[in-house]
């Protein structure tokens, strides 16, 4: 079996100029970055305003397991399959973060014959968007510490600076640091932390901005900490929104590449799926909708996190209504949700599937709660037995759930034809209306409870003392009408990652809130959330090399 | 008078495709980055091996003063002037660092009608080279701390880690930090420091590498610190050179842009001019020499630092021999070297020039010591009086020094014709042989003394106890045959920045050494050297903005 990078390196890519021309764009609408990448212009979306919108297909999944579900691969394969069916489809994905690429083997650009390319570039520096976000984030940090050092007119309390520095790196040693040591010429000492770049509020802001002016408006509102009197201090107070917007001007432009079958793909933005909303940018999704009949896009983690936030946060902010949802599952992952360990996945086990399928059932109910049509996609693995597949098909039929087998890793678009046909039928069926889980006018506590009960199936929420006082404080500061962005383990519906399948009779502990006022949501932490990953015993970086004939090896 | 950015925005740039085609390059030799920037391919230099070399003209200056000398502007203007004289000239410059752009107003891309463009891009993210260096540097840091955290097989002494993290930012609060706080899940606590990216040894390595394999060879040798038994630990010991080379693969490709008069300019690499050698990359300079009749390139700071290191380090490593040197001076700066304060520069003062010209004289002697032909360029300012100019011309004539007035800020290439003609005469005169200041076989102490005496005019050097023991240690480790890279104040010939003009009867204090084994030089610190700048009271960042019609303003 060929590796992803071998398949990638054997693929003949079209010059990006051809991809762009096929989309009907002219010279002023784009800029090349190398021969196979492009950035679309800032004004393109506005220029396309009068064009009709293509249909948005949202790809989500059951709760992820160590078995792997292949959500990105299905997303890419579905786009390719739609093209085979003469629908002009465009894929819209998130940009991978470089940090994890150095840590654990495995990129984030699909796989097999359903990849976005050039995968080496996409997984490394790409067009520099994440580097621009790192720079903007850390420019703000430098301006904050410089302000404190030079008289602190705003009376920022160094103990209440909430703005972390960031690096696009897995770097455990930066999780908790002290900066400003060394005496009067080296600033004011204070505790600080580095997060990974995708956890920066600037990433969320960039992904939710409608245009450059909206980006600036949101940057302005970011709260970087509090004064000694506990008043919020904003980017506007520091007069820094202009510089940050200048630094992000190019990063706001969506990136265009292609798949292994030359289907256009817009890859842009990649916020964390726990402390942020986990979807690619509004500009990318909307531009793709203007340029194609279909946009296939994905949200992070399972439907309880990614899809919930896509629909309650991104759809609301961007006026994006999916015409159909695909829920990805695998036989292997359903077995794990039925309690089987990773080492036993190759043994046939229909009983485990019968139990694990309850996880899928909850996510189906979740999508139904939003009033959206959906198809379940079973992403085939070579180890799946006929009996297991038959059981799952039977279960879907009994429960009146539309299901399609896909085999896009091995067969590209051809492996997703059945799924594509079913998605088209749903998307072109009677129009539906997206029903949000909560109303923005509800109090924050009510919004959190609605998500916990409707989406997770919890009995109730349990607020910590800290969270309770923050709720009062945030409502008082006028942030009560913002949507909530839940940070919960992705591995289970409850906040205990070991509760696979469909737990019942549980409550959700609400530990702490964080205000992402620029992103326009309140982050709700339901447990310890690590915003800076570490490297494993043997980092993937150590496998990478450049051979004597200057070829990259060991990258996936 | 128009500002640099106004002139830049009014200039009509040629498509980079045309610039590249005029240089005789084909599709496989380059990649576009937007419409006006390109990266030249890694293999181009090798492909051009059989081509004859164009002549290299090195632009240097007197010791810099707050009055400004305009060395980059003269470099760009001279290139433009050579083109007007039907010589195919290419300019080779360093890449500006983004950090200072956020701090003090003023870019590093020439000025007026002698700029490299697009100046906004060049001064901000450009093609991402500095971001790639930041990432590679910090990936190494993460691998070091991860190694220590996970058992520390190599027995790295956390107190002796010499590898700093970096950011391309002016950020005082990161000059001295403690990392790894927070208990067993957050690494091993140790003191650390962040430098600005251009101070990373990786920047020096990239600029001195001949090709990708030489880059990898040098990265391997970098010493990141010492074991508990004081044995050096290298990148090779950590097995990290492959990953670092992968991260730097694109950054090693030289960037091609153009000037205000569409003269091609290669802008690539920008190491600090004190703790590193302060010149653009060997690959850039050599590629420019293969593609043009003339390369005009500059070295950092004055001839005592930049030119000395260009000639003793870069020329030696790359086999680059300048055919002529230009020494830039201004009437204003010579007055400051004659003891005049910045506020009195507009008053005519021939006496001050008569005294300050001694600084120029020393740098002339320095270039003579290398056996190279030279021309002095007087970069005109509107406040210069005829009497002052006449005096300086007379002084040059008496001392048999070739001199030319230039006016390239205001008139572009047309303002540098006289200089260009004189440079051509020198460069096309009898061939000369570059004489190095010291032999690589000399002991380190002897090399340091040679530079101090020959280049600075010092009586001798005075070694600190630490430096003395390091000399013994480094010679024992086999590093004694490396050239020395002097870190001295740029403002004076001695290591007292207030000693303008030409001080005599002084010694040079040698405080400490640092081994840049990958860059293949020993850094010699003659005083406190700050490798992380800070932001001023009113950072330039606060002037930057994006207007309502999406235009960048306030950037210079």
**DSSP secondary structure of A158-199:** EEEE---EEESS--GGGSSEEES-SSGGG---EEE-EEEGGG
pLDDT given for residue B106 in this prediction: 61
Identify the band that residue B69 occupies on the pLDDT scale cut at 50, 70 and 90.
confident
Cβ-proximal residues to A341 (8 Å cutoff; 6+ apart), any chain = none
Mean per-residue pLDDT, B260-266: 98
A residues 210-249 closer than 8 Å to B (CB): 212-213, 216, 239-240, 242-243, 245-247, 249
For A:406-465, CB contacts with B below 8 A are none
Residue A446 has pLDDT above 80, yes or no: yes
One of A47, A84, A105, A361 is an active-site residue; which one? A105
Q: Does A374 touch chain B (CB under 8 A)?
A: no
Question: Would you call B43 an interface residue with chain A, using a CB distance cutoff of 8 Å?
Answer: yes
Higher pLDDT, B214 or A66: B214
Count of CB atoms within 10 A of residue B478's CB?
A: 10
Beta strands in B185-331 (DSSP E): 190-192, 194-196, 223-227, 232-234, 255-259, 264-267, 294-298, 322-329
- Would an 8 Å CB–CB cutoff place A174 in contact with chain B? yes
Question: In three state form, how does the secondary structure of B55-89 look?
Answer: EEEEEEECCCCCCCCCHHHHHHHHHHHHHHCCCCE
pLDDT (tens digit, 9 = 90+) per residue, B99-130?
A: 999 998 666 789 999 999 999 899 999 999 99
Contact A56, A289 (CB under 8 A): yes
Test A171 with B145 for CB contact under 8 angstroms: yes
Q: What's the whole-number average pLDDT of chain B?
A: 96
Asked if the C-beta of B328 comes within 8 angstroms of chain A's C-beta atoms, the answer is: no
pLDDT score, position B133: 98
Closest by CA position to B370, among listed B454, B283, B258: B454
Predicted pLDDT of residue A274? 85
Give residue A510's pLDDT: 97
Average the pLDDT over B174-178 and give the result: 98
Chain A closest CA to B288's CA: distance in Å?
21
Contact check, Cβ <8 Å, B186/A176: yes
Q: What is the mean pLDDT of residues B136-141?
A: 98
Whether A107 shows a pLDDT value over 70: the answer reads: no
Residue A529 in this model has a pLDDT that exceeds 70: yes
Decide which of A11 and A528 is more confident.
A11
Task: Indicate which residue of A55, A94, A502, A514 is catalytic.
Answer: A94
- Give the three-class secondary structure for B290: helix
Which of the residue ranges A90-94, A100-104, A309-313, B213-217 would you say has the lowest mean pLDDT? A100-104
Q: What average pLDDT score do residues B388-407 get?
A: 97
The string of DSSP letters for B27-38 reads GGGEEEBSSS-E
pLDDT for B107 equals 65
Q: Which residues numbered 110-129 in A keep a CB inside 8 Å of some CB on B?
A: 124-125, 128
Which chain B positions have a beta carbon within 8 Å of A180's beta carbon?
172-173, 176-177
> Chain B: nearest CA to A252, how far in angstroms?
12
% of chain B beyond a pLDDT of 90: 93
B82 or B109: which leads in pLDDT: B82
Name the active-site residue from A36, A60, A73, A285.
A73
Chain-centre distance of CA B439, in angstroms?
A: 23
Following CA atoms B184, B189, B194, B200 in sequence, which dihedral angle do they give, to the nearest 10 degrees? -80
Chain B contacts of A247, Cβ < 8 Å?
124-125
pLDDT at B6 over 90: no
Annotation marks residue A221 as catalytic: no
Q: Say what the pLDDT of residue A66 is.
A: 87
Residue in this structure with the two tokens 């007069």, named with its chain if needed? A239
Among residues A416, A377, A374, A417, the alpha carbon closest in space to that of A393 is found at A377
Sheet holding A223-227, edge to edge: A156-161, A223-227, A232-234
Q: Which residues contact A538 (CB under 8 A, 6 or more apart)?
A: none
3-state secondary structure of A407: coil
Average pLDDT of chain A is 96
Please give the pLDDT value at position A295. Answer: 98
Contact between B484 and B533 under an 8 Å Cβ cutoff? The reply is no
* Residues B180-213: tens digit of each pLDDT: 999 999 999 999 999 999 999 999 999 999 999 9
A94 is catalytic: yes
DSSP helix/strand/coil, B486: strand
- The single residue listed with the structure tokens 């309850």 is A358
> Does A6 have pLDDT greater than 90?
no
Return the closest-CA partner of residue B210 out of B42, B441, B31: B42
> Position of tokens 């430096």?
B467
pLDDT tens digit string along A452-510? Answer: 999 999 999 999 999 999 999 999 999 999 999 999 999 999 999 999 999 999 999 99
Is the pLDDT at A419 greater than 70? The verdict is yes
Specify the 3-state DSSP secondary structure of B302. Answer: coil
Q: Does residue A164 sit at the B interface (CB-CB below 8 Å)?
A: no
Q: Is B177 within 8 Å of A179 when comparing Cβ atoms? A: yes
Read off the pLDDT of residues A118-140 as tens digits, 9 standing for 90 and up. Answer: 998 999 999 999 999 999 999 99
Q: List binding-site positions of A for ATP.
A: 65-72
Residue linked to tokens 């901005």: A209
Out of A5-14, A417-426, A432-441, B126-135, pick the least confident. A5-14
Mean pLDDT, to the nearest integer, of A367-389? 96
Structural contact between residues A203 and A270, judged by C-beta atoms closer than 8 angstroms: yes
- Mean of the pLDDT values across residues B65-93? 95
Give B 81-100 residues with CB within 8 A of chain A: 98
B186 inside 8 A of chain A by CB:
yes
Catalytic residue among B126, B272, B310, B409: B409
Mean local confidence (pLDDT), B384-405: 97
Residue A315 pLDDT exceeds 90: yes
């Amino acid at each position: 079996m060929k590796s992803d990078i071998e398949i990638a390196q054997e693929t003949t890519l079209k010059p990006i100029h051809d991809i762009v021309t096929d989309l009907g764009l002219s010279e002023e609408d784009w800029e090349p970055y190398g021969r196979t990448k492009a950035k679309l212009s800032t004004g393109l979306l506005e220029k396309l305003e009068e064009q009709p919108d293509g249909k948005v297909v949202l790809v989500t999944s059951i709760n992820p397991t160590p078995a792997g579900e292949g959500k990105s691969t299905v997303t890419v394969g579905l786009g390719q399959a739609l093209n085979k069916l003469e629908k002009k489809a465009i894929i819209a994905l998130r940009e991978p973060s470089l940090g994890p690429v150095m840590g654990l083997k495995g990129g984030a650009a699909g796989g097999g014959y359903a990849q976005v390319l050039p995968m080496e570039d996409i997984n490394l520096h790409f067009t520099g968007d994440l580097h621009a976000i790192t720079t903007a984030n850390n420019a703000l940090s430098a301006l904050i510490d410089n302000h404190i050092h030079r008289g602190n007119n705003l009376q920022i309390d160094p103990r209440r600076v909430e703005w972390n520095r960031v690096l696009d790196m897995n770097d455990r040693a930066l999780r908790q640091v002290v900066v400003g040591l060394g005496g009067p010429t080296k600033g004011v000492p204070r505790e600080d932390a580095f997060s990974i770049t995708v956890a920066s509020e600037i990433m969320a802001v960039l992904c939710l901005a409608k245009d450059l002016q909206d980006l600036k408006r949101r940057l302005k509102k970011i709260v970087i900490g509090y004064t000694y009197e506990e008043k919020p201090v904003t980017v506007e107070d520091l007069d820094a929104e202009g510089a940050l917007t200048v630094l992000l001007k190019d990063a706001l432009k969506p990136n265009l590449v292609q798949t292994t079958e030359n289907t256009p793909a817009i890859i842009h933005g990649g916020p964390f799926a726990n402390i942020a909303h986990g979807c690619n940018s509004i500009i990318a999704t909307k531009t793709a909708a203007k340029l194609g009949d279909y946009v296939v896009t994905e949200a992070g983690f399972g439907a309880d996190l990614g899809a919930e936030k896509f629909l309650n946060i991104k759809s609301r902010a961007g006026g994006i209504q999916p015409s159909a949802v695909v829920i990805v599952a695998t036989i292997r992952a359903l077995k794990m949700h039925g309690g089987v360990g990773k080492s036993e996945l190759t043994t046939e086990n229909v009983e485990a599937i019968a139990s694990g399928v309850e996880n899928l059932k909850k996510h189906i109910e979740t999508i139904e709660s939003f009033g959206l049509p959906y198809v379940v996609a079973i992403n085939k693995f070579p180890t799946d037995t006929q009996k297991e597949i038959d059981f799952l098909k039977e279960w879907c039929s009994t429960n009146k759930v539309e299901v399609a087998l896909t085999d896009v890793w091995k067969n590209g678009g051809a492996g997703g034809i059945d799924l594509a046909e079913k998605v088209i039928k749903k998307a072109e069926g009677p129009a539906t209306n997206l029903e949000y889980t909560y109303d923005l006018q509800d109090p924050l506590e009510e919004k959190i409870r609605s998500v916990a009960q409707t989406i997770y199936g919890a009995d109730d929420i349990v607020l910590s003392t800290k969270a309770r006082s923050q709720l009062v404080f945030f409502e008082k500061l006028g942030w009560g009408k913002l949507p909530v962005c839940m940070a919960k383990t992705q591995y289970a519906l409850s906040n205990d990652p070991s509760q696979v399948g469909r737990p019942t009779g549980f409550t959700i502990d609400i530990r702490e809130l964080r205000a992402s006022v620029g992103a326009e949501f309140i982050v709700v932490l339901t447990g310890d959330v690590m915003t800076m990953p570490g490297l494993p015993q043997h980092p993937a970086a150590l496998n990478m090399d450049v051979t004597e004939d200057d070829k990259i090896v060991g990258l996936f």
